Amino acid sequence: MQKIIVCLKRVVDYNVRIRVKPDNSGVITDGLKMSINPFDEIALEEALRLREKGQAEEVVAVSIGPEDAQQQLRTALAMGADRAILVQISAELEPLAAARILLKIVSREQPGLVLLGKQAIDDDCNQTGQMLAALWDRPQATFASKLELNGTVATVTREVDAGLEVIEVDLPAVVTSDLRLNEPRYVKLPDIMKAKKKTIEVLPIESLGVDVTPVLRVTRYETPAARTKGGMVNSVDELVSALRDRGLLA
Amino acid sequence: MSRILIIGEHSGGHLNQSTARCVACAVAIDPSAIEIVVLGGDATTVAAEAAALIGVAGVLTVTNPANSQPLAAVLAPQIASLAAAYDYVLAPSTTFGKDLLPRVAALLGVPQLSDVMSVLGPRLFQRPIYAGNALITIEVPTGTKVVATVRSASFKPVGNGTAAPVRPAEVAVPLPTHTRFIELCSGKSDRPDLQTARLVVSGGRGVGSAENFALLYKLADRIGAAVGASRAAVDAGFVPNDMQVGQTGKIIAPELYMAFGISGAIQHLTGIKDAGTIVAINKDGEAPIFEIADLGLVGDLFLIIPEIEKRLR
Ligand SMILES: Cc1cc2nc3c(=O)[nH]c(=O)nc-3n(C[C@H](O)[C@H](O)[C@H](O)COP(=O)(O)OP(=O)(O)OC[C@H]3O[C@@H](n4cnc5c(N)ncnc54)[C@H](O)[C@@H]3O)c2cc1C
Ligand SMILES: Nc1ncnc2c1ncn2[C@@H]1O[C@H](COP(=O)(O)O)[C@@H](O)[C@H]1O
């Protein structure tokens, strides 16, 4: 296969606990640590391994986001992506709009495989890969925990509620990563230096001719009601009798 | 009156309980015209189960050998063609619904809402973001079809009543052959299903090994509980992936959740915040799980589990 596209979203780092603005108009993201969405890092790692096995020639990292998303693309280049594309937009996107933009990139680049994360940990939508596959009229294999390429088909093991489902898809196809697909590599300093020479192509959103106006209106953000902190018990006897009092144990 | 179409989820020839939870969500939107569509190789039993759900006005069946496995690429165009006649298309927020519905939405050219947790008005919904650390209210403009997955743990399943009519639906769309089902490997057990169980016993990295999980299975069997796990326990190979509870595993709402050797990472807690009573057993008194536990006990799980069993009747 010639090319794999990996879609990377810049998100608030998963270790950061987000807070809602006091006026309920959004969440506070200023000054927070930003990272590549963890699922996308796994997707990138998978693409790099396929290339290292000789099953792909080029790995292209794509992100749609603000100018600062170049930081995450630099990390991707340091991990080993060959080149990167930033579709620059400052506003928030709905997954359908992201999928429409990605379709433009896919049409131009003609990859054999598009890898995405199964979900972005900010919006938790879990939609973009499936939508891209629909618009592209190609197969989708979501929640992948194993991916094997054999010529013109990919065999994918998917983590589903009932266990592990194995499907076979014709290439080109869209695959979204689950957590157990692999463990991403660490970036080494020399790689960061080398990555500086690689290019990030910046495409202004206007150049793509995609309508990105959100359809859904978010009217309010709020903090969920916290569970009230219960009590500690000091012994198994206390625990068991408390559970009996609540009718939970016979 | 709004017409609502629910995509029925089924496996092993039976309707999945998440569908009855979706009906509860639909009833909260508009109870007047709720229908379920069942796509399958053979839909007879599943359709009858769907037709019995209280609040359901009718069931559509689309039978086709191609529908005998839940492949999103195959099912989505059929659902999209049926969806034209409906104002709402709902599916459960299970791996089945999460895989399928965005593909339907994209074919319809409309955005999708994920994990609806409450209905504030016919076009006003609440859903979690950032692993449940914030909730957003979303308004779908009039004239836009509402396509949404329903967070199962947020709705109680509707019960059974008199049977609604079942009729076959005509769908004439070409189906792709580019996606083929090979197999499903599931760890069959006689224990209650994790997603619907009243009681859940769950283990984390602290359990230490696959062999040690036998302790939890034994306790679970004594009290009739399902068994769950943290991601760390799944990653370490102690238990299979279908037991993972959390942001990227199963979101559950049992009456009792007993966590053994689980520290309480936010991604894990997202999966249990609707549980009735949370019990935490951890040898580290500072473990974050104690912040949300209703009943916490500091100690070694290997000593505590046998002690609990001794006290069971
Ligand atoms: C994008 C993303 C998604 C994630 N999704 C999920 C998810 O869906 N579900 C999930 O669970 N995690 C998820 N995680 C992982 C999560 O962040 C934690 O790493 C994980 O939940 C930790 O599992 P644990 O509590 O079992 O392990 P640890 O954090 O290692 O905790 C083990 C606990 O066991 C206790 N212990 C050890 N020995 C004993 C003993 N003998 N008796 C009693 N207690 C003992 C220790 O004190 C410790 O508190 C996700 C992470 C990311 C980045
Ligand atoms: N703005 C974006 N830029 C690049 N990739 C994205 C973007 N938004 C979503 N994706 C990809 O789509 C996946 C699923 O996102 P979501 O549907 O928002 O949960 C992510 O893991 C990314 O791989």
DSSP 8-state secondary structure symbol assigned to residue A17 = P
pLDDT value of position B155: 96
Ligand nearest to the CA of A99: 2
Residues 6+ apart with CB under 8 A from B222: B309, B312
Q: Would you place residue A123 in the very low, low, confident or very high pLDDT band (cuts 50, 70, 90)? A: very high
Residues of chain B contacting A173 with CB distance shorter than 8 Å:
178
Ligand nearest to the CA of A124: 2
Strands A163-170 and A153-160: antiparallel
* Residue B182 φ/ψ, nearest 5 degrees: -105, -60
Contact of A4 with A43, CB cutoff 8 Å: no
Cα separation, B233 vs B203, in Å, equals 7
User: Residue A10 carries which side chain, given as an amino acid letter?
Assistant: R
A156-187: b or e for each residue (b if 16 or more CB lie within 10 Å)? bbbbbbbbbbbbbbebbbbbbbbbbbbebeeb
Helix (H, G, I), strand (E, B) or coil at B277: strand
Task: Kindly provide the ipTM of the predicted complex, given to two decimals.
Answer: 0.95
pLDDT value of position A172: 98
- Residue A23 burial by Cβ neighbours in a 10 Å radius (0-12, 13-18, 19+): exposed
Task: Please say if the pLDDT value at position B210 is more than 80.
Answer: yes
pLDDT tens sequence across B56-114:
999 999 999 999 999 999 999 999 999 999 999 999 999 999 999 999 999 999 999 99
Give residue for tokens 């903090």: A223
> What integer best gives the mean pLDDT of chain A?
96
Residues 6+ apart with CB under 8 A from A58: A2, A3, A4, A51, A82, A83
DSSP 8-state secondary structure symbol assigned to residue B63 = E
Nearest to A163 among B71, B186, B235 (CB): B186
Nearest to A217 among B139, B255, B276 (CB): B139
What predicted TM-score, i.e. pTM, was given to this entire model?
0.95
Residues of chain B contacting A168 with CB distance shorter than 8 Å:
179-180, 182
Beta bridge partners of A142: none
Question: Sign of the C-alpha dihedral, residues B302, B303, B309, B312?
Answer: negative
Give residue for tokens 């292209």: A60
Closest CA to A78 of A202, A184, A177, A198: A198
Task: Please say if the pLDDT value at position A55 is more than 80.
Answer: yes
Are A121 and B102 a contacting pair at CB < 8 A?
no
Contact of B293 with B260, CB cutoff 8 Å: no
Q: Extract the tokens encoding A121.
A: 């940990």
Task: Please say if the pLDDT value at position A177 is more than 80.
Answer: yes
Closest CA to B93 of B257, B265, B271: B271
Closest CA to A121 of A77, A169, A179, A173: A179
